[in-house]
Amino acid sequence: MNISRLQVAQTMIANGLVPVYNHHDPELAKQVMMACYHGGARLFEFTNRGNHAHEVFGILHKFAAAEAPDLILGAGSIVDEATAALFIQLGARFIVSPQLNPAMARVCNRRKILWLPGCATPSEIAAAEELGAEIVKIFPAAQLGGPDFVRAVLAPCPWSHLMPTRGVAPTEANLRDWFAAGVACVGMGSNLITKEIEQQGNFAALELKVRQTLTIITACRSQ
C-alpha cells in the first residue's frame, strides 16, 4: 500500500485505536489481526518480541496486502535503527519504540516512515518532536500518572499528539478519561486482545470488542 507517513498519522488519529499484538504462530496472528480489522481497526501493531518475530511480521504483511489492503501494519518494541530498517524493509508503515532513540529518527525519516518513540517526560516529548515525531507514545502511561500526566503535558504544549499505551482499557470510563485529557489516539494490547480470547480462539468476540471500543472512542470525542 502506497501511503505517506502523514496519511498514516492522520488515519491513526482518525481511527483513535491501535491494537497491539505479538505471537510466534503466524496463523493465529493472522486471525487476531483480521478480527481487529473486521471490527473496524485500520491499524495494527505487531510487536518485535521473541525469536523470528520479523519473519512472522513478513508473513502478516503479505497476507494483509492481499486480504485487507487498507490495513496499515506497523512494528512495535523496536529499540534500534538496524531493527527499524529491517521491519521497514518487510513492509512496516510505522515504527513504535518503548524509548527515545534519536538514531531511529534518521532511519525512519529517510524512508518517510511514521516514527512513534516512547517518552516519559515533557523534555523527551519535545526532543522527539524536534526529531520529527508526529505522534509520541507515552509509555508506560499508567505508571506516569495516566490521564493527569497527559493533561499536565498538553496544558503548555497543546500541539503535541500523544498516544498512551500500558494502562488503556476498552471501557467507557477508562477511554473517556484518556480522550477527555486530550490524547490523539490510544494503543491497546492485552486489555483488548485478552489471553482468554486467544486461548479460546474466540475471534468473533474480539471483533465485537474492537467495534465496541471504536464506538466508545467516537462517543468520547463527541462529548
Is 188:164 a contact under the CB 8 Å cutoff?
A: no
The pTM assigned to this predicted structure is: 0.96
Buried-exposed string 16-38: b where 16+ CB fall within 10 A, e elsewhere: bbbbbbbbeebeebbbbbbbbbb
Q: What is the pLDDT of residues 164-217, one digit of tens each?
A: 999 999 999 999 999 999 999 999 999 999 999 999 999 999 999 999 999 999
Provide the residue-wise pLDDT of the chain in tens; the chain has 223 residues: 689 999 999 999 999 999 999 999 999 999 999 999 999 999 999 999 999 999 999 999 999 999 999 999 999 999 999 999 999 999 999 999 999 999 999 999 999 999 999 999 999 999 999 999 999 999 999 999 999 999 999 999 999 999 999 999 999 999 999 999 999 999 999 999 999 999 999 999 999 999 999 999 999 999 8
pLDDT at 1: 66
pLDDT at 2: 81
Output the CA–CA distances (angstroms, integers) from residue 202 to 84, 135, 169, 187, 193, in the order listed.
32, 32, 19, 21, 10
Q: What is the pLDDT of residues 131-140, one digit of tens each?
A: 999 999 999 9
> What are the boundaries of each domain within the chain?
5-222
CA separation for the pair 154, 201 (Å, rounded): 40
Fold category of 5-222 in CATH = TIM Barrel (3.20.20)
